[in-house]
Structure 1
Amino acid sequence: MEPTLVELNQKIDALTAQVAYLTEQAQIAERQRADRAELMRDLTPIANQAFHLTIEQLEEIQEYVDLSDLLRLLKRILRNGRNFEKMLDQLESLLDLLDTMGPLTDEAFAKAMSTLADLEHKGYFAFARGGMRILDNVVTSFTEDDVNRLGDNIVLILNTVKEMTQPEIMTFVRNTLLIAEREVEKPVDSSLLGLLRQMRDPAVRRGLALTMRVLHVIGAQASEKALSN
């Protein structure tokens, strides 16, 4: 009698567990159905609005777009599905490359900013701004004819500058200016007797001779130019 009662209790427990499981599943299904119903209630106005909006937009472009055009576009999209997939793969590769190069570009940008800051601190940009002002003054001060004449004589000008900037010429000019600056501050005896005493100095006589020679050359060139005109 007791084994039969035990088996009966076990069957009742199993049946109770099954009923509880079925009840739980029914409740889950009911909640899912309620969620779907609520979702449909929420989506129905949105879908209706999207449908009406689509109809309105299609009415605006119906003169320019035919159903056959849409079908042809859809077919083309389907035919190029693999191409789109390749394009997406390439885009992913590009994004991976950008992620990899991100630290490098950040470092390069920081280096460039540091270099620009150093150049600004050393005055390169200020010098460039000053150079632009000088160039602007030069451009506004010369006419087109002046520029053409400058182009015709640029070789002669450069050769003249080259000769004038030789080390010995620059040293001579610098020393002459320094000596002249010191001599100007000294008292000068401009009397006839003082001038005669200075003429006894060999350096003075040599300077006068060189000056006369230079004046002779200048006069000869002026005469040649006058005769040619």
Structure 2
Amino acid sequence: MTNEELILERLDRIEAQLAPISHTASGISELREDLIPLSGQAFRLLSRELEDVESGFQLEDLLTLLKRTLRSVKHIIFSLEQLENIVDFVTTIEPLLKSAVPQVINYLDDLEQKGVLRIINATLDVRAKVASAYTAEDVDQIGDGAVALLGLTKKLSDPQSVEFLEKLAGLPSKVDLADAKPIGPFGMLGALSSKEARQGLGVLMQLTKAMGSLKNGGNSTRADQSEPIA
């Protein structure tokens, strides 16, 4: 084989090796030609978007944010740790919530069926009406009166008071107003001949003695010590 043939053979091998590179360069050239219009549009779009934030963004702000971030690395780490704790807590209580939420829903549904929620809603409406009709000072006075009434109710809860009120409530059924007739002093003396009238007069005297304590604000001792008016 002559030198010319060897040179031609080497040139053929070099050409075969350069063929893929040529194809790659051709593809890159085509890609560049395709990207040039797109890159121009992208830069124009980016420029328009940056114009919107130009007044509210400065490079110094970015540097300040970077410095504050570096200074707050410990806080960021702590926040991430707490976030992990929260995630663990939620993961732990998730089974409980799955069982508790249906029970709460059933309980609220039961209250709704019994009308409890409607009563609560009506109570809120009553509070709104009270707030519109009375001032805060009026409500305070009403509260003081309610406390006084509770104290009176406590006194009435005494067994003797309850027994007395029960007997007193039964009196109207024993009174015959149709049989009531006007009487004078002598008629009163005649009426005292009956046992019931004398017992009633004794009860009236006991009530009169008890009512005497009203003069001194309920202090019966001072009422007993005061001299009667002649």
Q: What TM-score do the two structures reach when normalised by structure 1?
A: 0.51
Report the Cα distance in structure 1 between the residues aligned to 2:196 and 2:91, rounded to whole angstroms: 79
Report the Cα distance in structure 1 between the residues aligned to 2:194 and 2:26, rounded to whole angstroms: 129
Query: Residues 198-213 of structure 1: matches in 2 within 5 Å?
Result: 199-213=192-206
What's the CA shift for 1:75? Answer: 5.0
What's the CA shift for 1:190? Answer: 2.2
Structure 1 residue runs of 5 or longer lacking an equivalent are: 1-18, 225-229
What's the CA shift for 1:202? Answer: 2.4
What's the CA shift for 1:170? Answer: 1.8
List per-residue Cα deviations over 1:75-103 (Å, max 9, x = no partner).
55467678657755654664464355444
Query: Residues 132-147 of structure 1: matches in 2 within 5 Å?
Result: 133=126, 144=137
Q: Equivalent pairs: percent with the same residue?
A: 22
Aligned partner letter, 1:218 = M
Shift in CA distance, 103/136, structure 1 to aligned 2, threshold 3 Å: same
Which has the larger helix fraction? 1
What's the CA shift for 1:49? Answer: 0.5
Aligned partner letter, 1:189 = D
Structure 2 residue runs of 5 or longer lacking an equivalent are: 1-15, 217-222, 224-230
List per-residue Cα deviations over 1:104-162 (Å, max 9, x = no partner).
3344333333333333444444554565638965995799489569859x67x655432
- More moved, 106-115 vs 34-43: 34-43
Aligned partner letter, 1:205 = R
Q: Which has the higher contact order (CA 8 A, sep 6+)?
A: 2
Report the Cα distance in structure 1 between the residues aligned to 2:181 and 2:99, rounded to whole angstroms: 77
Q: What TM-score do the two structures reach when normalised by structure 2?
A: 0.51
Aligned partner letter, 2:158 = Q
Report the Cα distance in structure 2 between the residues aligned to 1:146 and 1:86, rounded to whole angstroms: 49
Report the Cα distance in structure 1 between the residues aligned to 2:43 and 2:106, rounded to whole angstroms: 56
Q: 1:108 aligns with which of 80, 92, 100?
A: 100
Shift in CA distance, 52/145, structure 1 to aligned 2, threshold 3 Å: closer
Report the Cα distance in structure 2 between the residues aligned to 1:56 and 1:143, rounded to whole angstroms: 53
Correspondence for 1:117: 109
Report the Cα distance in structure 2 between the residues aligned to 1:83 and 1:150, rounded to whole angstroms: 50
Q: CA RMSD in A?
A: 5.3
